[in-house]
Amino acid sequence: MTLDIKICGLRTVEAVRVAADAGATHIGFVLFPASVRHVPLATLGDLLREVPSHVQTVAVLVTPDDKLIDDVLAAGRINVLQVHEVDDPVRIAALQDRTGRPVWRAQGVRTRADVDLGLAYAAVADRILFDARPDQPEPGASAVPGGTGRTFDWSLLEGVTVPGWGLSGGLTPENVGQAVRRLRPGLVDVSSGVEAARGVKSADKIVAFVAAARSA
C-alpha cells in the first residue's frame, strides 16, 4: 500500500508550495478559530489555488454545521472533509451524501476503548485518523481537539487492520519512520512536528518529514 502523507495546519502560500514540492499527498487547512493554525475563509481560496492538482486538499473541521461546510466548499477545491468531535454516523453519512466528498473521522486516543470507538466508525467514514486525545482545557478556554504535539501509546494500535487508517499526534521527522515501520498506517499526518514555532511551519522540517516517512 502506498503511504499517504498529510502536512496539516498550513497558513501561508510558501508553506503550501514547500509541502507540495516535498511530496506530500495531502495538505490540510484548519477551519477552527480556536486553533493557532486557523485559516480565515477570506484567505482560504488563495491558499487552495496554490495546491497542485495532484495533491489532495483537506478541510479540517470541528463539529461543522451545514453553513460552514457550504462556505468552505465555495472557497475552492476541497477534496476531503476531516471532522473532529462528530460522534454520529448518520451525520457523517449525511455529509458524504450532501457534499460528494470523502469524510475522515478523527478519533482522539488515550485508551484502547478510544481505539475501539474509532474502529466502530470504519463502516461509514472513509478514513479513521487516530490522534492523541488532548487534555481538558482550562475553565473558559476553548478545547482544541488536535495539534497537541504529543504522541500516545502506539501499542494501542497494534493489530489495527482497517484499510487506510491514519496516524497523527506528535509525529516528527525523527519518529515518523519508526511509526511507519511499526504500525504500517495508510497515512501519516503532521502539524506541530514540522513547525519552527507554534503555528509557523519550517520548510526544512517539512522536507525532512516527507523524506523520513517515504524511506521507512
**Catalytic-role residue among 116, 131, 135, 153:** 131
**Catalytic-role residue among 8, 65, 66, 135:** 8
Q: Are 37 and 147 in contact (CB under 8 A)?
A: yes
Which residues, in sequence order, are bridge partners of residue 7?
Answer: 27, 190
Give how far the C-alpha of residue 181 lies from the chain's centroid of Cα atoms, to the nearest Å.
20
Q: Of 57, 64, 69, 51, which is closest to residue 6 (Cα–Cα)?
A: 57
204 is catalytic: no
Q: Are 9 and 200 in contact (CB under 8 A)?
A: no
131 is catalytic: yes
Rg (Cα) of the chain, in Å, rounded?
A: 16
Per-residue burial over 10-20, b if 16 or more Cβ lie within 10 Å, else e, is bbeeebbebbb
Catalytic residues: 8, 131
